[in-house]
Structure 1
Amino acid sequence: MIFQDFGKYAFTFSENIGFGKLENMNDRERIEKASEKSAATEFISSLNDGYDTALTRVFEESGRELSIGQWQKIAVARAFFRDSSIMILDEPTASLDPMAEQEIFNQFDELSHPKAGGVPKTTIFVSHRLSSATIADKIVVLENGQIVEEGHHRDLIRLDGKYADLFNTQAKRYIENVDQNDGPAPDINGRPPMPPHGFNGHRPPRN
C-alpha cells in the first residue's frame, strides 16, 4: 500500500526500494525492474553511485536530496518490488508530471490485465486526477463518505452525473486554451463540435 504520506528513508535508493520486501531486498535485478516500472530508472542511473547513492544528508553530507516527485517514484517502486496480489494506492502520482503519471498507470493496467499466462492482480487507487480513472475496470465515486455512483468510465460519462461533471471540469482546463482560430475542439465525449447557432436555422440535437 502507498499512502499519501509515504516513507522517505535516509538510506540508499536500493534500500528504499528493497524495504518493500525485506527477504528480497538484496535482489538487485528485482530492484531495477521495480524502479523501471515506476519511471525512476533514468534519474537513478544518472548518478555516479546509482542505486547505492545515499539519500538525504541525515547520515552522509554527500547524500542526495530528492524532489517530492522523485520520492514518490521511489515509493511506487517499493510497491512494485513487493509484488503483492492486491495493491492499494492513495494518490500514487499526485506529484508526478503527466508523462511519468501515464507511464506508471500503464504499468498498473498491465498488472490487472497481464499478457497471456500472467496472473492478474487487483489494483485499487484513490485519485482526484480523473484522467487516471479511465483505465479502471470499475470506478466508485464517493461524496461525503457515501457511494453516489459506480461503473466504467464510459458508462459514468453517459450517466452525466457527478463523475461526468468532475471529469468534464478537469478536462476543460486542457481544451479551453485551444486557439479559436483553430476551430472548436471535440467535446470530452469525443463527439464532433456542434455547428454554431443559426447554422441551417437550428442546432442539431445531441444524442
Structure 2
Amino acid sequence: MSNVTKLYMIRFFQSLIPAYVIERLFWEMRGMTIPMVVMTEILFALTIVVLEIPTGIIADKWGRKRMLLVAAVIGCLEFLLLLFSTEFWHFALVVLLTAVAASASSGADNAMLYDSLKEDGMQSSFERIVGRMNALDIVSITIAALSGSLLAGKFGFSFNYWLSFASMLIALGFTLTLREPSRGDGEGEAAS
C-alpha cells in the first residue's frame, strides 16, 4: 500500500469522530461550565500559535512520519483521557495535548504527501490528491455527525468516545506503516 493510500486512510479515520457531535454535552455532564470551556479554547488557540512554527521546523529536521506519529498517539490518548475526565484540569490537559497534536501534524501530512509523490515523479497531482483528501475529510465528518447523535442516544455519550478512540487507533495503525520518503535534495537533509 502506498503512502498516498495510507494518508487517505489516516485522514478518513482521524475525522471519523462521533464524539465531537456530543462533546459539549459530555463535557457539561462532567462538570465543565461555559467559562471553563472558553478557557480551554483560549489555551488551545495560544498553544497552536506558539507551536505552529517550531513543530514545522522539527518536522523538517526530525521527519514527517515521526511528527505524524506524535499526533496520532496523542489523538488516541485524547479520547482515553476524556473518558475518565472529571475535573477542569483534566479537560485543560486534553485540550493542550490536542493543540500539540494539531501543531505536530499541521503541514506534516501535506509535506509527506508531496515528498511521496515527488519520489514517484507525480508531484503534479499534489493539488488533485489534496482535494480528494479534503473531500474524504468531509465524507468522514458527515458520517460521524449523522451517526454520532443516534449512537449517543442509543448507547450513551461514552460510547461515542470509545468509537472515536477506536477510529484514532486505526489511524495510528496506518501512520505506523508510513514510509518516510526521501526529500529529493540529494543529501538526505531538509532544504533550508
Query: Which TM-score tier does this pair reach, normalised by the shorter chain?
Result: under 0.3
The structure with more radius of gyration = 1
TM-score normalised to the size of structure 2? 0.19
Greater helix percent: which structure? 2
TM-score normalised to the size of structure 1? 0.19
